[in-house]
């Protein structure tokens, strides 16, 4: 996990507010996409930029916690933390939380390319080496399956709304409406259409150099559904199927992921 022990402990003093928004994801499940969506939505409602918009709770030095505590509202945070590691104040204040999920096979492929093109992450000489670490939960941020399971028992909490990367890709505008309503932002249809035009993948990839600098193309590679079919071997696909059955198939979050539709040939 890309979080120092000092920062991890400093998070205990984090002061969440009811007006905050939190985006919770496992890496490469649509984090930056949804960050940009909330940025645009909050801007329209408040007619000003959020004071914090790309702050991963767990990244950075521990001193940042005090700075974030003092930042004015509205604040938008994101995290790759397991549910039990989220600062307690987020749940005490019932902070509106978007839990973004993505099928584990496409997540793995995206994570592989991200690791090999991000200078702060370990590089892998081959897909096979990465797959072994991924399936065993030895990659940055730990196990996809453990992370997803940690949130599973809480997806019916009133302040948490699960969304899937796949549903958003296939029915984007209606999911934008769901997000707006859940967050209590109540954007008009016209405003939502503008948000849609600014946050479709093609638009975000084109301006990624402005939003993410030299790493723009690293954060926004393809954003496709089914990319796993180009790299998974048959045995790897079956191994992932078995892992899903073991860890998530009996959970409601497993139903939400619609594994059979997106991860079976």
Per the residue annotation, which of 9, 39, 80, 113 is the catalytic one? 80
CB 224 within 8 A of CB 233: no
Under DSSP, the state recorded for 257 is H
Cβ atoms of residues 196 and 173 within 8 Å: yes
Distances, alpha carbon 41 to alpha carbons 48, 78, 88, 180, 195, in Å: 10, 16, 26, 8, 7
Pair 8, 84: CB distance under 8 Å: no
Take residue 101 and report the two structure tokens written for it. 């999920």
Nearest partner of 104 among 261, 257, 265, 256, judged by Cα: 257
Q: Is 147 a catalytic residue?
A: no
Of the candidates 230, 261, 85, 246, the one whose C-alpha atom is nearest the C-alpha of residue 165 is 261
- Residues with a known catalytic role: 80
């Amino acid at each position: 996990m890309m979080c120092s022990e000092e920062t991890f402990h400093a998070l205990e003093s984090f002061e969440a507010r009811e007006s905050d928004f939190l985006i919770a994801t496992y890496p490469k499940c649509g984090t930056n996409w949804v960050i940009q969506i909330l940025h645009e939505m909050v801007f329209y409602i408040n007619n000003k930029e959020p004071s914090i918009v790309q702050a991963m709770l767990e990244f950075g030095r521990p001193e940042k916690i005090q700075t974030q505590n003092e930042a004015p509202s509205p604040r938008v945070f994101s995290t790759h933390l397991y549910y039990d590691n989220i600062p307690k104040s987020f749940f005490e204040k019932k902070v509106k939380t978007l839990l973004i999920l993505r099928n584990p096979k496409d997540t793995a492929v995206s994570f592989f390319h991200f690791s090999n093109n991000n200078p702060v992450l370990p590089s892998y000489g081959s897909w096979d080496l990465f797959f072994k670490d991924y399936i065993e939960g030895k990659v940055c941020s730990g196990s996809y399956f453990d992370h997803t399971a940690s949130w599973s028992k809480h997806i019916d909490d009133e302040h948490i709304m699960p969304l899937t990367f796949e549903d958003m890709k296939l029915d984007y505008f209606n999911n934008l409406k769901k997000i707006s309503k859940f967050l209590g932002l109540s954007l008009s249809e016209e405003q939502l259409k503008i948000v849609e035009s600014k946050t479709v993948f093609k638009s975000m990839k084109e301006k990624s150099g402005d939003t993410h600098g030299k790493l723009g193309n690293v954060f926004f590679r393809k954003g496709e559904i089914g990319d796993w079919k180009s790299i998974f071997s048959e045995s790897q696909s079956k191994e992932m199927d078995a892992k899903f059955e073991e860890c998530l198939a009996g959970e409601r979050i497993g139903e939400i992921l619609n594994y059979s539709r997106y991860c079976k040939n």
